[in-house]
Structure 1
Amino acid sequence: MVQLDEAKLHSFIGKMLGDLGGAYSVPTVRIGLRLGLFTALQRAGPVTAAGLAAAAGGLTERYVREWALAQAANGYIDYDPSSEKFSLSPEQEMVFVNKDSPVYLEGAFELAAAMIEGEPKVEHAFRTGAGVRWGDSAGCLFCATGAFFRPGYVNNIVQNWLPALDGVEEKLFSGAKVADVGCGVGFSTILMAQAYPNASFVGYDFHQPSIDEANGHARSHGVDDRVTFVAATAKDVGERDFDLVTSFDCLHDMGDPRGCAAHMRRILKENGSWMIVEPIAGDHPAENMNPVGRLYYNASTMICVPTSLDQEVGEGLGAQAGEAKLSEVIRSGGFNQVKRVFTGPFNMVLEAR
């Protein structure tokens, strides 16, 4: 009989309490974000629960008080027991108020809720080996995914990722033709269009509701004269002669990433480039046993692998495929050069030519 190590048990229970506290915070944080409580606290604080309820538009004080105490216990807001007032630190504002902050996490909480909503369908897929179609697992998985990735795109696409490519920025400034394949709701495409007004952009995604939303975003941002969104799979893109193709956080979700790579090679000009942004990962699972890998493996179990297995071929790369595997897949499509050009805390950027 194995001897129980009491110290290890207590340490493990402590870890589980922390993890469960984080899980329990998902609905209360989502309520706070939707009702504007974090923003109201940023504007009015330090403030009592009654003051916060009033600042948020006349919410019920008793609910607001319990919510605020929950967030204080989470460590998401600050609480002064002597004055019974709540406040937000500048660091907390970066996570819960500043939508253009690189660490704004509203989308992460929405994604967590979408994974819970999709749990029965993914569990069924475990038993059958089938996939779960993108957008079918939860009411607005594609909205949550777009919101999750937006802060990273706002702070990196134009500032870091595109400049890291060989000679691409010059083409963009002078009027390149760009395809954003797997564009989702269009945040990435629109950010590029705003930064490079002489270039033209076509966003492609196989999910029609995402394309509908993307077209709405293009109109509201005033770039619909240079940005078009089309519902199509990666292998069905009909246009040719692109100077640049981009694929943001989507290659690993595709059922046939090798077929996608081959088609990207066909639609590019001879001197064109394909930029592939993927979740950061090591080439071996042991390298991904860290907080970022933990997030990606769990999301991959609930979203990425089921989505891929629902599609043609169903390779199921997963969100932690790693650079070596991704590069092998990309080269199989006819690209001679594949190199990592940028590494961040959450993503790596590969350039294929």
Structure 2
Amino acid sequence: MNQEKIDKLSERIINDTNSAMNCLTLYIGHKLDLFNIIRETGPIDSEELSKKTHYSERYLREWLECMTVNGYIEHDPSTNKFSLSDEYAVVLCDRDNVAYTILFVYWIPSLSLALDKLLEAFKTGNGVPYSMYGPDMLYAQGEGNRPMFVNDVAKWISTMPDIAEKLRSKGGRVLDVGCGDGWASISLAKSFPLTKVDAVDADSQSIENAKKNVRNEGLENRISLHHSLMEKSEFKEKYDLVMTFESIHDMPYPVEALRKMRKIVSSDGAVLIGDVSMKDTLEEKNDFAGKLYYNFSVLLCLPQSMNHTNSVSTGAAMTSSTFKKYAIESGFSKIEVLPINHFLWTFYRLTL
């Protein structure tokens, strides 16, 4: 027996447990708007924070000290006041910045909600409904992806100069598949003011969230929202661009969905896919993307896909070869990997 190997795993599990608890204490800080308040007020002690928020001073004191020892906020022992550095404020408070990753901690309580149902699914082979993960899951996904969408959608489309020029100069129609809270559609509509967008999602609450966001952005006359599985949708118009991000691996029937996209994209249009970057062999998947997406796959992506009858059950560990197989089966003749640098996704252009 290799005692060093035993000790390393034991230590790792303890560290992983602390990391999970960090996610929950960060969640408390974000959910109660404490990070924004600390940023706005500057150095503050627990009593001042209690007066400002009307929260319990004793709980706030313990939370402030917890955030300090875990390295998220700063403490001045001479004044016993706590503060947030400008750099950490970007990550914890700046909603439009691509570094605003605090929303990812919402995944931990959300995924935990479905554990009982997931344990049962392991025994029965059934799926877990999307709704079991609660509102925090939609918030983590919608708001978590928002900074990327509002900053980068136009950049991604620019790697297809013919499509970008058409949308910019002539407008046209775009279909956003698996639109979630609608931020990719909103970003595209703002970047290409002549376009009209149809956005579709299989989750009714996501569509409701998207309606609210579209209304708040004043884009109701240019973005139309639809509740449907893509393969069962009834779109009949031809689209200059069909786009979908991080959704193919979640779809119970990806070939049918891609076939529907192929049917409605115009002859000189394109389908833009952004989905997981995953190596081909299991041994190669021990990089960050592999570890992250396998966790998502076990806890969410595979179970919600298997909730549909005869699902192909792809999961979030979908390789490029698996995706290309789906695209070929659905009838696309050309599959091009676009020159977009992303640490988690690969982008494809599909054409007829």
Q: What SS does the aligned partner of 2:131 have?
A: coil
Alignment of 1:155-234 (within 5 A): 155-158=151-154, 160-173=155-168, 174-234=170-230
Q: Is there any run of 5+ residues in structure 2 with no aligned partner, and where? A: none
Aligned-residue identity in percent = 28
> Residue type matched to 2:13 in 1?
M
How many residue pairs get matched?
A: 348
Q: Is the 8 A contact 1:280 1:343 kept in 2?
A: no
Q: Is there any run of 5+ residues in structure 1 with no aligned partner, and where? A: none
Aligned partners of 1:77 and 1:279: how far apart in 2? 33
Query: Residues 288, 85 of structure 1: CA spacing in aligned structure 2 closer, same or farther, 3 A cutoff?
Result: farther
Query: Deviation of residue 312 (structure 1)?
Result: 4.1
Q: What SS does the aligned partner of 2:179 have?
A: coil
Q: Is the 8 A contact 1:122 1:137 kept in 2?
A: no
Alignment of 1:56-205 (within 5 A): 57-158=53-154, 160-173=155-168, 174-205=170-201
Q: Is the 8 A contact 2:182 2:213 kept in 1?
A: yes
248-257 or 144-153: which moved more?
Answer: 144-153
174-183 or 18-27: which moved more?
Answer: 18-27
RMSD across aligned C-alpha pairs, in angstroms? 1.8
Q: After superposition, give the CA deviation of every residue in 1:200-250 in whole Å (9 maximum; x if it has no partner).
A: 000011122221221121111100001000111111222231010011111
Query: Deviation of residue 306 (structure 1)?
Result: 0.9
With normalisation by structure 1, the TM-score equals 0.93
Aligned partners of 2:77 and 2:224: how far apart in 1? 54
Q: What SS does the aligned partner of 2:134 have?
A: coil
Corresponding position of 1:337: 334
Corresponding position of 1:28: 25
Instruction: Specify which of 40, 44, 47 is matched with residue 43 of structure 1.
Output: 40
Aligned partners of 1:291 and 1:76: how far apart in 2? 22
Query: Deviation of residue 9 (structure 1)?
Result: 3.1
Aligned partners of 1:98 and 1:32: how far apart in 2? 14
Query: Residues 181, 34 of structure 1: CA spacing in aligned structure 2 closer, same or farther, 3 A cutoff?
Result: same
Corresponding position of 1:4: 2
With normalisation by structure 2, the TM-score equals 0.93
276-285 or 63-72: which moved more?
Answer: 276-285
Query: Deviation of residue 301 (structure 1)?
Result: 0.9
> Residue type matched to 2:76 in 1?
D
Q: Is the 8 A contact 1:99 1:151 kept in 2?
A: yes
* 1:306 is aligned to 2:303: yes
140-149 or 19-28: which moved more?
Answer: 140-149
Q: After superposition, give the CA deviation of every residue in 1:149-208 in whole Å (9 maximum; x if it has no partner).
A: 2222223212x3111124111121121200001111211111111111100000011122
Aligned partners of 1:18 and 1:294: how far apart in 2? 16
Q: After superposition, give the CA deviation of every residue in 1:1-34 in whole Å (9 maximum; x if it has no partner).
A: xx232x3333333322221111112332222112
Corresponding position of 1:347: 345
> Residue type matched to 1:9 in 2?
I
